[in-house]
Structure 1
Amino acid sequence: MNKINPMIWSLSVALLLWNPIVSKAQVSSKEQQYSFDNLPTVKGTSFKKDTINILSYGAKNDGITLNTKSINSAIQAMSKKGGGVVVIPAGLWLSGPVELKSNVNVHLQKNALLQFTKDFNQYDLVKGNWEGFPQMRNQSPIWANDQVNIAITGFGIIDGGGDAWRMVKRDKLTESQWKKLLASGGLVSENKKIWYPSALTMKGSTMKDPGKISSDKTPEFYESIKDFLRPNLMVLYRCKQILLEGVTFQNSPAWNLHPLMSEDITVRNIYVKNPWYAQNGDGIDIESCKNVLIEGSTFDVGDDGICIKSGRDAAGRERGVPTENVIIRNSTVYHAHGGFVIGSEMSGGAKNIFISDCTFIGTDIGLRFKTTRGRGGVVENIYAKNINMKDIAGEAILFDMYYAAVDPVPLTGEQRSAPKVELLPVTEETPIFRKFYIENVVCDGAAKAVFVRGLPEMSISDIYLNNLVIKSDEGVDIQEAKNIHLTNVHLDVPTARPLLYVQNGKSVSFKNIDYTNADLLIRVSGEQNKDLKMSGTATVKAKAISEFTHDAKPAVLDIKK
């Protein structure tokens, strides 16, 4: 019999006993098209039973022969005859880039390992997209443009050979791992903190946006930094009806799975894996896509686990394609910068996102929503429920409009200063976060329970957090936000001064807040606070109830029993 973690059990029981009737966020039909009772529809795939084995096209599973031509020829032939299944049987199959074609299901049988070559000459430089910008990149190991009804299914493993491409930070390895890496070749930065696999990789790392496409850059220039332009393991661009099922995707050069401007995507029962130190080693990045289902899948990666994006800054706003109608359920994320993430490249917007019945274990942040000035875009109608978390290094739930493109948790010895707070004009570059509905969250261990940080010129707004049980080092921190509601929240914090912090908050309500300890229950800071309410909270348990700093007035806070 499996043992039940006593802390998760006790926190879950506390949630049930303390609030047996689960309340739902009520949203009018005018504000949303979908709800958990009426989810978006994702169109599926369908394939003929006709089958081709790559052995018929001369493929060899010796781990030496390059099978690029054999695999692609089989896929092309099957697509031309109307579609069907291309089988990759058991064995180790070395290959260069593989192009998916319409109406073809590439099926990996048990013990099949599709290993992409570490010979960079096999990957042509092509016009692609990186972190929301059009860029030159090496051709992705798996790719498709404008294809319909495509799939990768089965039981095998797809390995992107990413360790040959990636730079590595010394602080993310043990001393013995670092020495082994140095002995393998490559170069080390002048400060001895970063290892590069080649001189071309190091050269590219010293430039600002070296892959950005511009008229002044010649083919020779891109060749001079080719190794730096790491490909994502899989990019599916403007495709429709996609199925990824059962397969393990691992060891990606950059992001692992990247559907871009595609529709009707089903991701089911896959395993996505990268070393925890893998720079930009995201699990799956859904960018400017519509109608997506991710279920029953596991992610253990080096950057964000499950991520929603829609382009970056002016380029993303010009594209103007949001990611919308996304369902994520019954999935697990282990190591990752964030379990479920939106941003920071969300300039085209994101809406109608539903995440439920998921578990995050050992991620830096649990639910992570990030953006920054310059992005623009609107993120709204985001729903999450029934989320379990354990051993979260940073915040269990985070909303941050000051994203700074650094790891969410500082490395040992790393010093960071808080961002400069200044009021700027609202323009098309100002991002908007609003209408988040999160309920039924249990977290056994986090540095901070909830962090909400908006911009002085654009508050984060309309956040409803219901039925949370969180054990953490710190409580709730709300800055530059309006219409924020925390209801039925249990905070197990060893000692808190304060348990709740509000800076320039408007219409912030705390209802039925239970807690273990608090030297100070709430601190209010700033002269822009207005309409702060607390009710159903045992203020007598705190050594001190309230404190007002930086021109905050006691009259802004109304406490009722």
Structure 2
Amino acid sequence: MQLNVLEHLTYADVRANATAAIQTAIDACAQVGGGTVLIPGSGPYTIDGLVLKSHVTLHIAAGATLVGSGNEDRYTHRPGPFELNRNATPICGLIYAKGQTDIAITGAGTIDGNYQRFIYPDQGDEVHLKFYKYPRPMTVYFEDCHQVCLQDVTLQNAPFWTVHLVGCQNTEIAHVTIHNEPRMPNTDGIDVDRSKNTYIHDCDIVTGDDAICPKCTEETAAYSDCTNLLVENCTLKTQSSAVKFGSSSFGNFYNCHFQHLTITDTNRGLTFQLRDPGSAENIRFNDISIVTKHYSKEWWGSGEPIFISLLPRDAQTDLTGQRIRNVSFTNITCNAENGLFIGSVADHMIQNLTLDHVTLTLRRPLGSPVQYDLRPWQGTPKIPATLHGIETYRENTYTTHEFVVRPAK
């Protein structure tokens, strides 16, 4: 079944707000066992929250843009807590699905999160935009869904996390463009939260916060660990980390592979920011180019191309038995303002780390004063150091094969 939302309506009928027309079409497809809801390429459509249902594809044609109204009271809400159990706040999504199977968002059109509705006006060239509240709406929020596809669409102007996958299984995100305002905080590109069998490929992500972020938030513990993630053939640019494990790490990360990535003008390249009782094992990075650029002090990081840390979030965090183990970096080229950082709160918490054919070209002279940003953790937020190829904090086990440091001339 295919339903064109303008088949029995004119564009003028839905111009003020297209939510009812689109949701009615989604519901009608679901009632007959599935189908495609076509959004024609006629121009912008303002929407409140949409709920996607099993066996339904939302196809946004080229030239069509779904624009969030900014009225989050009319978006789809999920009760709190959010991220940490002590955060009682609910969250909401512009396009939402929970417990659904075989759902998709496709087409060459655009979903616009309308972040401008959530920030203070007249901020000029402020480097870190100020906002009204936290959290703000997710652009796409899928929880406990199976057989998920996002393909070809452009997601832009997110006010908060752009795509949040919570406890989802068998997800493919392909040829998706995410372009957010780079000064906007918390605009993660794709958050893979305790999801399994996730395949992300051929995507272009430009955003303010982390581009691709495996997470295990505390409040989603029912979905267990984050496993079997494959990311390849993507370009990433962000004022935070291109790839970041954490900082929510209340579960484990197993069997994740990242290859053929191009990372440009990014505060941190490949990051493990584990701050909670979870481990990361069997993680591979290969054939990746990284260019770092240090942005303003509000963004976590100090221009490190590779940053590996396992540190307690606060005095109540117990990291007993937690490890970062069996992690390899192969054929990685870095052009950076800072060195690689490897740090943990106790000896031997980082094990079997391999740097194989890693080239680091430094744009500052060796011996220059630098600092490493350890936020969030219970200790000093930033520690001073002198610039080396690799800076270690506590005793860690790593090996290098053809690790080359090229100092600035």
TM-score by length of 2: 0.84
Equivalent residue for 2:94, pick from 134, 141, 149:
141
Corresponding residue for 2:191? 285
Amino acid at match of 1:141: L
Contact 1:156–1:247 (CA under 8 A) maintained in structure 2? yes
Relative distance call for 1:304 and 1:86 in structure 2 (3 A) is: same
Corresponding residue for 2:3? 52
Equivalent residue for 2:171, pick from 265, 287, 298:
265
- Superposed CA offset, 1:338-368 (max 9, x none): 1111111121111100100010011111111
Equivalent residue for 1:390, pick from 288, 291, 301:
291
Equivalent residue for 1:323, pick from 209, 214, 226:
226
**For 1:242-261, what aligned pairs fall within 5 Å after superposition?**
242-261=148-167
Displacement of 1:260 after TM fit?
0.3
Q: Which moved more, 1:385-394 or 1:102-111?
A: 385-394
Corresponding residue for 1:452? 342
**For 1:462-473, what aligned pairs fall within 5 Å after superposition?**
462-472=352-362, 473=364
- Superposed CA offset, 1:108-131 (max 9, x none): 111001111023442365415633
**For 1:87-486, what aligned pairs fall within 5 Å after superposition?**
87-90=38-41, 91-123=43-75, 125-128=77-80, 130-131=82-83, 133=85, 135-166=88-119, 176-177=124-125, 195-197=130-132, 201=133, 228-312=134-218, 315=219, 318-319=221-222, 321-372=224-275, 375-393=276-294, 394-402=303-311, 427=318, 431-443=322-334, 445-456=335-346, 459-472=349-362, 473=364
Contact 1:237–1:261 (CA under 8 A) maintained in structure 2? yes
Displacement of 1:498 after TM fit?
5.0
More strand, by proportion: 2
Relative distance call for 1:195 and 1:236 in structure 2 (3 A) is: closer
SS state at 2:111 partner:
strand
Relative distance call for 1:61 and 1:160 in structure 2 (3 A) is: farther
Structure 1, unmatched stretches of 5+, are 1-49, 182-192, 202-227, 406-423, 480-495, 519-561
Corresponding residue for 1:74? 25
Contact 1:57–1:74 (CA under 8 A) maintained in structure 2? no
For 1:165 and 1:265, how far apart are their aligned partners in 2?
Answer: 29
For 2:292 and 2:129, how far apart are their aligned partners in 1?
Answer: 28
Amino acid at match of 1:258: H
SS state at 1:56 partner:
coil
Question: What is the identity percentage for the equivalent residue pairs of Structure 1 and Structure 2?
Answer: 24
For 2:146 and 2:180, how far apart are their aligned partners in 1?
Answer: 27
Relative distance call for 1:288 and 1:333 in structure 2 (3 A) is: same
Contact 1:290–1:324 (CA under 8 A) maintained in structure 2? yes
Contact 2:246–2:273 (CA under 8 A) maintained in structure 1? yes
Corresponding residue for 2:380? none
SS state at 1:73 partner:
helix
SS state at 2:354 partner:
strand
Relative distance call for 1:429 and 1:137 in structure 2 (3 A) is: farther
Relative distance call for 1:464 and 1:449 in structure 2 (3 A) is: same
For 2:400 and 2:171, how far apart are their aligned partners in 1?
Answer: 39
Amino acid at match of 1:156: G
- Superposed CA offset, 1:521-547 (max 9, x none): xxxxxxxxxxxxxxxxxxxxxxxxxxx
Contact 2:57–2:105 (CA under 8 A) maintained in structure 1? yes
Contact 2:76–2:94 (CA under 8 A) maintained in structure 1? no
More helix, by proportion: 1
Larger Rg: 1
Displacement of 1:95 after TM fit?
1.0
- Superposed CA offset, 1:223-258 (max 9, x none): xxxxx4412111101000000000001112210000
SS state at 1:319 partner:
helix
Contact 1:284–1:305 (CA under 8 A) maintained in structure 2? yes
Relative distance call for 1:257 and 1:129 in structure 2 (3 A) is: farther
Relative distance call for 1:321 and 1:167 in structure 2 (3 A) is: farther
Structure 2, unmatched stretches of 5+, are 295-302, 373-385
Amino acid at match of 1:131: E
Count of aligned positions: 381
SS state at 2:305 partner:
strand
Relative distance call for 1:346 and 1:114 in structure 2 (3 A) is: same
For 1:377 and 1:79, how far apart are their aligned partners in 2?
Answer: 39
Relative distance call for 1:161 and 1:392 in structure 2 (3 A) is: same
